[in-house]
Amino acid sequence: MTIERSGTLNSDLCSCLIGRRWDSTMALFDDVCDCLDSAGAVKFRVGGFGQLEWPVDAATDLPVMLGQLPDICEIVAAGNEVGELDFYEQGIERRVKLEPLRNGYNVGCVSGTSWSPNPSVFWESREEISAMLRDVRDGFLSILSKAAPWISSHPLVHAWSARCAKLQE
């Protein structure tokens, strides 16, 4: 799972959001990700379980994943809890479940469509999962700081980032 820059970023990119007020992190992420996707400024990639690239996009699936990121970061930081990322949007409909085992996780995938994961479960170290989650968090924050610096300092973003920061380096 990665977030990548795919175009030129400047502080005017999401200027249409200046003055907007958000009552939730999800509403903020919906607006920001829609703006970034419309400008072609970001690529969101997820793959695995026998499919190199899942049919995800930055406008729809990225805000859903970002909304779940603090919970999964806290679970992985604790190291002994079951966690789940739910890609519930129509067309993808997949759940990735993390179950602690030895110093890592059994990572499983369940599909809500005709697609079948193969393999449906694999083991990954806690360090590798932590690094991937940190890269996603840091990639998003880096893009946000360039495309909408006034949003990157928003209290909702700070609270989200603080919860994500519990992963060990």
pLDDT of residue 168: 65
> Can you tell me the mean pLDDT for 38-61?
95
What is residue 56's three-state secondary structure? coil
Burial class of residue 163, CB neighbours in 10 A (0-12, 13-18, 19+): middle
Whether the pTM exceeds 0.85: the reply is yes
Percentages helix, strand, coil for the chain (3-state, rounded to 5) are: 40, 20, 35
> Can you tell me the mean pLDDT for 117-132?
96
pLDDT surpasses 90 at 13: no
What Rg value do the Cα atoms of the chain yield, rounded?
A: 16
Mean pLDDT of the chain: 94
pLDDT of residue 35: 94
